[in-house]
DNA sequence: TTAAATATGGATATATTTTATCCATATAAT
DNA sequence: ATTATATGGATAAAATATATCCATATTTAA
């Protein structure tokens, strides 16, 4: 069980976008450059964010990506689900119905106890992710980023938005 | 993010083993037959349970698998970790250090806020799994299994252990 | 003592998923 | 018009999950 790389990429990208001045946007090329990531593959992940209405896009020169809503209205869960999808990690294949003791499908009404337990745990995970806003992520990043990096980031932004 | 099939197989297998009379054991062949699963692949998963000390084994005729401890001393988390391993689902690749604004590795002491948040959610998942004992799983199964199946299972057991 | 039944671990094969790239197209700004 | 950009589809390459096979060690039962 591993989350895809794209989840980390997407969170960092959103966190960076959260720092943009109103009205500004960053294109794939610049986002990829900032994090030193594959431009084409990052583009795919940004598309997922776009389809999930987490970011908005503007085509053409000067265009790019920006957050679609306030950073405190976007949660880690939103981002994780945009990238990973919404299907449960645990999937019950109804093993209980199989084999020599299994009986007709109509006999099994509720989801089995195993699935219910696994799904409950998964809900705890999602609930916890839902509690963390992008705003909080950005605030933590701001606080823990070394001053030297903040300086360089400031200069990079000026150039990128010029 | 998907849990491997083996997790479901392992939980069902343990739940069945929990129903064994003291001293009895079931070999791979019979477990696979009961659930109509691939015998060779189930064997691999049972090996993982064995290495994790969730089940004990006895080689030779009349041998097989049995629980290594009481069913209420085994949790879903134990089983999930035996099959899936203990490494975190989210892995921080330290993207923050990269790119044109990144500075020397020595500047980043604590894990980043993104990773801390993701790991916290993961902990909530594991904690929830740890709360569910195999005993509970077995009790739920017993309660929700149709009577017709319980009958057939009883007969199957008698034959299997004869 | 021997034969049969079983688990174990290694090697390997196959299928599926993830990661990554490329391209043709649509769209917007200058 | 030209340039910069996102989008979605097709495809390729790499990694992982699924599945099988085999040689070996061990244990039981005859
Ligand atoms: S029957 Fe296997 S998890 Fe539901
Ligand atoms: S730097 Fe990316 S999650 Fe830690």
User: What are B129-139's pLDDT values in tens digits?
Assistant: 999 999 999 99
A13, part of any domain: yes
Average pLDDT, chain A: 97
Instruction: State how far the Cα of A30 lies from the Cα of A153, in Å rounded to an integer.
Output: 13
User: Per residue in B20-39, pLDDT tens?
Assistant: 999 999 999 999 999 999 99
Residue A59's domain spans which residues?
5-87+134-161
User: Per residue in B138-150, pLDDT tens?
Assistant: 999 999 999 999 9
The pLDDT value recorded for residue B50 is 98
**Interchain contact A141–B (C-beta under 8 A):** yes
Chain B residues touching A110 at Cβ < 8 A: 144
Instruction: State how far the Cα of A27 lies from the Cα of A60, in Å rounded to an integer.
Output: 10
The structure tokens listed for A49 are 């964010």
Q: How far is the CA of A113 from the centre of ligand 1 (A)?
A: 8
The pLDDT value recorded for residue A162 is 84
| Residue A85 CA, nucleotide D4 C1', distance (Å) | 31
B64, part of any domain: yes
Predicted TM-score (pTM) of the model is: 0.96
A117, part of any domain: no
Residue range B5-25: mean pLDDT, rounded:
97
A97, part of any domain: no
| Residue A27 CA, nucleotide D4 C1', distance (Å) | 10
Question: Is the C-beta atom of A114 inside 6 A of ligand 1?
Answer: yes
B125, part of any domain: no
| B148: nearest CB among A96, A107, A156 | A107
The pLDDT value recorded for residue A63 is 97
Number of domains composing chain B: 1
What nucleotides of chain C have any atom within 7 angstroms of a protein Cβ?
A: 4-10, 17-23, 26-30
Residue of A nearest to B11 (CA): A114
The answer to whether B162 CB is within 7 Å of strand C is: no
Contact across the interface for A92 and B8, Cβ inside 8 Å:
yes
Residue range A74-92: mean pLDDT, rounded:
97
Q: Would you tell me how many other CB atoms lie within 10 Å of the CB of residue A4?
A: 14
B129, part of any domain: no
Residues with Cβ within 8 Å of A125's Cβ and at least 6 positions away in sequence, in order, are: B121, B122, B124, B125, B128
Instruction: State how far the Cα of B83 lies from the Cα of B66, in Å rounded to an integer.
Output: 17
The pLDDT value recorded for residue B70 is 98
Residue range A56-73: mean pLDDT, rounded:
98
The pLDDT value recorded for residue A1 is 83
CATH classification at residue A82 = 1.10.10.10
Task: Phi first, then psi: give them for residue A117, nearest 5 degrees.
Answer: -65, -45
Residue range A103-118: mean pLDDT, rounded:
96
* Per-residue pLDDT band at B1 (split at 50, 70, 90): confident
Instruction: State how far the Cα of B112 lies from the Cα of A36, in Å rounded to an integer.
Output: 18
User: Per residue in B66-110, pLDDT tens?
Assistant: 999 999 999 999 999 999 999 999 999 999 999 999 999 999 999
User: Per residue in B46-65, pLDDT tens?
Assistant: 999 999 999 999 999 999 99
* Closest C-alpha to A114, from B45, B129, B55: B129
The pLDDT value recorded for residue B162 is 83
């Amino acid at each position: 069980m591993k989350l895809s790389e794209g989840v980390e990429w997407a969170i960092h990208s959103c966190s960076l976008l959260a720092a943009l001045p109103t009205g500004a946007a960053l294109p794939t090329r610049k986002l990829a450059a900032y994090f030193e990531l594959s431009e084409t593959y990052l583009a795919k992940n940004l598309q997922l964010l776009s389809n999930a209405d987490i970011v908005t896009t503007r085509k053409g020169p000067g265009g790019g990506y920006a957050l679609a809503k306030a950073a405190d209205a976007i949660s880690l869960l939103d981002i994780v689900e945009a990238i990973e999808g919404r299907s449960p990690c645990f999937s019950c294949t109804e093993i209980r119905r199989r084999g020599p003791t299994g009986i007709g499908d109509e006999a099994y009404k509720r989801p089995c106890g195993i699935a219910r337990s696994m799904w409950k745990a998964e809900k705890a995970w999602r609930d916890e992710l839902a509690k963390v806003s992008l705003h909080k992520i950005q605030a933590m990043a701001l606080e823990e980023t070394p001053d030297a990096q903040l300086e360089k980031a400031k200069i990079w932004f000026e150039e990128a938005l010029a």
